[in-house]
Structure 1
Amino acid sequence: MTVTLCLAQEPEADKLLSEDPFALLTGMLLDQQFPLEHAFRGPKKIADRMDGFDINRIAEADPEAFEELAATPPAIHRYGRSMARRTQELARYVVEHYDGDTAAIWRNGDPDGKEVLRRLKALPGYGDQKARIFLALLGKQLGVRPTGWEKAAGAYSEKDSRRSAADITDAESLLEVRAFKKRVKAEAKAAAAK
């Protein structure tokens, strides 16, 4: 049974995220400086404009044409051209290092959680936090639970938490995650003002 994610909050976009690991990886890449659900709709926009979502076609696309495709309203991101470049870098990396098989990142060689985290952090556009959130998303929602994944994902793996994309399963949990992020930001701002 395939799990249906609810990150984009749009059935067709969530279907793509649920069925295509590279679409999910791309949505997570786009999740910065942009409303989360809109970021996760980016892969569907690309798919609509490229007549399908194909990692090899994305990797091989003419960079200028791909930037134009990504920046055309409604753009895949507030910074459509920049994110188009990052998306192509990510696609090229996965093609070069994993033969275009995104799931190999967490599957090849039966890696433990620490190794999956290392592989995710090596991806273009993925820092420590984004990699931990993605690892938690794999474990919490997709049943990908390599040994030690919870420790590697850190606080993002906490059961019933509402701190990241890993915790969004419906419209209500999206609002709870948004409220958590707003509270953390306010607390950090207040602490910095002291």
Structure 2
Amino acid sequence: MSLSLPIDADANELLRRSPLALVVAMVLDQQVPLERAFSAPYDLGLRLGHQPDARELAEYDPDELIEVFAQRPALHRFPKAMAARVQQVCRIVVDRYDNDPARIWTDAPDGATALARISELPGFGKQKAQIFLALLGKRYGVQPTGWREAAGEFGRDGVHVSVADIVDEDSLVRVREHKQQMKAAAKAAKG
């Protein structure tokens, strides 16, 4: 039970085994296709010549990290902002979780605490934090008491509303259709 996206097999494998790669992918999962966001941690490692840990990214020269993010093809459409955000998240991982991003959720006694910890990460609003908690619960077996309730609609079984629900090409299509419907509804509500 883990995430399997239509991306390079090595990128998928990295997401399966590296909590940091998973956190970085979620940080980058905004305003770019999810395939790009979830491939970026692997591509970052290729550019650096190895997979970095949180401490290395936290201490990386900010201007040099921006250059790494901006190399073509850029790791994100906003490489400067996203390099800075990844660095902020990594500093929290180093300072609060002893350089171990998995402790954000493994040390949480319940779903509400895990959600609160995820929500404290830069770039993780309520919805993104709930999606990440649902992803951890549904694809990685991280299921502290109350995780589904804390994840809200994203924690439900049998839905296709986020990356947490993608298991194959069909579910990817269904998640994309749901997102398009939500965007259309939001646009119509604005008038």
Bin the TM-score by the shorter chain. Answer: over 0.9
1:80-105 CA distances to partner (integer Å, 9 max, x unpaired)?
12111111111111011001111111
Counterpart of 1:42 (choices 40, 43, 62) is: 40
In the alignment, structure 1 residue 60 sits paired with structure 2 residue 59? yes
**Cα shift readout 1:118-153 (whole Å, capped 9, x = no counterpart):** 000011121111110000001111111000001000
Contact 1:93 1:124 in 2 (8 A): no
- Quote how far apart the aligned CAs of 1:173 are: 1.6
In the alignment, the residues of structure 1 paired with residue 127 and residue 39 of structure 2 have an alpha-carbon distance, to the nearest angstrom, of 21
Equivalent of residue 181 in structure 1, options 179, 182, 186? 179
Unpaired runs of 5+ in structure 1?
none
What pairs with 1:59-78 in structure 2 (closer than 5 Å)?
A: 59-78=58-77
Letter in structure 2 aligned against 1:177 = V
TM-score by length of 1: 0.94
The one-letter code of the counterpart of 1:188 is A
2:111–2:144 CA contact under 8 A, matched in 1: yes
Following TM superposition, where does structure 1 have runs of at least 4 consecutive aligned residues deviating by more than 4 angstroms? none
| TM-score, normalised by the number of residues in structure 2 | 0.95
Give yes or no for contact 1:26–1:87 (8 Å, CA) kept in 2. Answer: yes
Structure 2: distance between partners of 1:171 and 1:157: 20
Q: What CA distance in whole angstroms lies between the structure 1 residues aligned with 2:148 and 2:2? A: 22
The one-letter code of the counterpart of 1:172 is D
> 150, 159, 162: which is aligned to 1:161?
159
Counterparts in 2 of 1:1-194, with a 5 A limit?
A: 3-7=1-5, 9-54=7-52, 55-108=54-107, 110-193=108-191
Deviations 1:56-88 (A, max 9, x none): 211111111110001111111111121111111
SS in 2 for 1:5: coil
| CA distance in structure 2 between the aligned counterparts of 1:42 and 1:30, rounded to whole angstroms | 8
Partner-residue secondary structure (3-state), 1:40: helix
Measured in 2, the distance between the counterparts of 1:166 and 1:75 equals 25
Is 1:8–1:38's contact at 8 Å kept on the other side of the alignment? Answer: no
Q: Distance in 2 between matches of 1:89 and 1:166?
A: 24
Cα deviation code 1:154-177 (max 9, x no counterpart): 000111211111111122222211
Say whether the 8 Å CA contact 1:113–1:148 is kept in structure 2: yes
Residues in 1 aligned to 2:187 and 2:15: alpha-carbon distance in whole angstroms: 34
Following the alignment from structure 2 to structure 1, what is the Cα–Cα distance between the partners of residues 18 and 136? 13
